Structure 1
Amino acid sequence: MTWSGLLLVITTLLPSGPADDAGGTTWRWPLRPAPEVLRPYDPPAHPWEPGHRGVDLAARPGQAVYAAGPGRVGYARDLAGRGVVTVIHGGLRTTYLPVRATVRPGRAVTAGTRIGVVEGALGHCGQVACLHWGLRRGLSYLDPLILVGRAPVRLLPWWDDDPERRVIHSPYDIYH
């Protein structure tokens, strides 16, 4: 593989963050201004094991929460005593909690549409309020920071000859 081929692989795997990606979607932080990440994405080695399947963002109770990208609200109500909002973005789904929803399921949203406010319930982040922001593609959890260009960069192998060998077990296969 040439360096130009490697550069093509890298640029197709990385989202462009707040700017338009190849699909024309503008992704944004769910809080304003861009928050501190209190706890990073830390997926388990196996789906049944414990892990942190999203990121925790510094927030204050009552702070506005915004859709990270355009889509349709899939869920907006309490789940196990905490408010949860889920937005479906085609094959991706973002989740926000604990959030008191100001939207209803089925509503179309754009990147930056206010979807609720951070609830004051403590617990997930200990004695500090936070917003848990998750991202899934199908049944696979991904690092939501990939949407805003803040996920760690990782080079991946590239196979041109055998489609069966193109299976990549990484959050970065989101753009394949």
Structure 2
Amino acid sequence: MVSVLPIRVPGLVTVVLGVALSLLGGSAASGEPGDPLPVGVWPLRPTPEVVADFDPPADPYGPGHRGVDLAGSVGQPVRSALPGRVLYAGPLAGRGVVVVGHGPTRTTYEPVAAQVGVGDAVAAGDRLGSLQLPRSHCFPRACLHWGWIEGETYLDPLLLVGGGPVRLLPLWSHSPAVTPARPTAVGWAAGPGGEAIDPGP
């Protein structure tokens, strides 16, 4: 199961993007807990360098990174990560954006010069357009900002390609509390009350 946070980005770009995406019919997922994640493909080939990871904020209005940035080159083909239907293709807040719907989720790609139109069906790996430089998150380098959204909640798109963060629980979260012994001399340790304990042979 994917852990997600509702996310908003301050500023005019976010307001415009949020309104546009809500008009595109995003809806909450209807999947059951434990449903397998969809298997997607990288939107750039060959497998690109991830130059900025998904970094959800601590609260809905806090700073963070609501997608991942993938290193690329100007004019490089940008491909759909999953099969779906194009919901938006064109300029948005000064940059080219393509949004592809996949049932309860949608993926976003920017900055992209679109070569698809609204309503086009695409397969995983189909070309959506070409990577642009203007408004790149990595300027003066070109990079693709790739997002994955469920309703109004941003997800880590690297999960679609077998990536994303691995979250391990601390060892002590499932073990009884133990006070570690402190060495006081060779072969001796101090117990919880400070008394000397002989660990034996």
Normalising by the smaller structure, the TM-score range is: 0.7 to 0.9
Task: Report % sequence identity.
Answer: 58
Alignment coverage as a number of residue pairs? 136
State the alpha-carbon separation in 1 of the partners of residues 64 and 137 from structure 2: 13
Tell me which of 73, 76, 94 is aligned to 1:81: 94
Q: Which residue of 1 aligns with 2:154?
A: 141
Matches within 5 A, 1:152-163: 152-154=165-167
Q: Which has the larger radius of gyration?
A: 2
1:78-114: per-residue Cα shift (whole Å, max 9, x none)?
Answer: 0111000000000111000000000001111110110
Task: Report which structure shows greater RCO (CA 8 Å, sep ≥6).
Answer: 1
Is the 1:14–1:146 Cα contact (8 Å) retained in structure 2?
A: no
User: 2:66 aligned with 1:57, yes or no?
Assistant: no
Q: Which residue of 1 aligns with 2:111?
A: 98
Measured after TM superposition, the shift of residue 150 of structure 1 is 0.7
**TM-score, normalising length from structure 2?**
0.64
Q: Which moved more, 1:61-70 or 1:146-155?
A: 146-155
1:43-98: per-residue Cα shift (whole Å, max 9, x none)?
Answer: 11112222100000001000000000000000000011100000000011100000
Measured after TM superposition, the shift of residue 31 of structure 1 is 0.4
Equivalent position SS for 2:97: strand
Equivalent position SS for 2:65: coil
Equivalent position SS for 2:160: helix
State the alpha-carbon separation in 1 of the partners of residues 136 and 80 from structure 2: 23
Matches within 5 A, 1:161-172: none
Structure 2 spans left out of the alignment, 5+ residues: 1-33, 170-201
State the alpha-carbon separation in 2 of the partners of residues 123 and 64 from structure 1: 15
Measured after TM superposition, the shift of residue 122 of structure 1 is 5.0
Is the 1:85–1:96 Cα contact (8 Å) retained in structure 2?
A: yes
**TM-score, normalising length from structure 1?**
0.73
Equivalent position SS for 1:42: coil
State the alpha-carbon separation in 2 of the partners of residues 104 and 70 from structure 1: 15
Q: Which residue of 1 aligns with 2:54?
A: 41
Q: Which moved more, 1:122-131 or 1:85-94?
A: 122-131
Amino acid corresponding to residue 124 of structure 1 in structure 2: H
Structure 1 spans left out of the alignment, 5+ residues: 1-11, 16-20, 157-176
Measured after TM superposition, the shift of residue 155 of structure 1 is 5.6
Q: Which residue of 1 aligns with 2:192?
A: none
Root mean square deviation, CA, Å: 1.7
Amino acid corresponding to residue 93 of structure 2 in structure 1: A
Equivalent position SS for 2:130: strand
1:128-166: per-residue Cα shift (whole Å, max 9, x none)?
Answer: 11000000111110110000001122368xxxxxxxxxx
State the alpha-carbon separation in 1 of the partners of residues 89 and 44 from structure 2: 18
